[in-house]
Amino acid sequence: MRSFTGKPVLGGQAKGPALFTDQAVNFTAGFTKPQNLLPWKRSQFCDRHHPWCGEDLKGKVVFLPACIGSTHTGLVVLDLVRLGIGPAAIVVEDADPLLVSGAVLSEVWYGRGMPIVSCHIAQFAAAIKTGTIAEVNGDTGEVILRD
């Protein structure tokens, strides 16, 4: 078990398989492709410019450096969070307005939030392997990895 502490951005607790990328993520490009119209592909990430292309993000704790791209991000993240079909929690180096807004909208209007913690993510690159489980506490900023 390894423990890390970051800055709490949005509260709540979650646990799930850890997924790491050192490439910034475009949530709009990832989730608004024609295949995302299919009910069983709603949570499949489909941005051909990103190494996650083809990954299902549902229930995962995702580690990324930054969120990029369109201001449709909140529309996408709002549904991923309120319907429980997206990541369980997000650990991000630069918590930007787009990423945060989707989770805030879901929390305020639908009563279901998603923890977000901001911290240096390079330290996770070697620590996260296939099968690593991450626990995130969005109130304290604590991130725990278990193999």
Residues recognised as catalytic: 70
Q: Identify whether the C-beta of residue 2 lies closer than 8 Å to the C-beta of residue 127.
A: yes
Measured from the CB atom, the residue of 41 and 132 that comes closer to another protein is: 41
Member of 4, 6, 8, 57 binding another protein (CB under 8 A): 8
State yes or no: residue 37 binds another protein (CB under 8 A): yes
Residues 97-136 touching another protein, rule: CB under 8 A, are: 97-98, 100-102, 104-110, 116
Torsion, CA 103, CA 83, CA 86, CA 109, rounded to 10 = 0
Which residue bears the tokens 């390894």?
2
Question: CA–CA separation, 81 vs 88, rounded Å?
Answer: 8
Length of the chain: 147
Residues within the interface to another protein (CB under 8 A): 8-11, 24, 26, 28-29, 32-34, 36-37, 42, 46, 48-49, 65-79, 82-83, 94-98, 100-102, 104-110, 116, 139
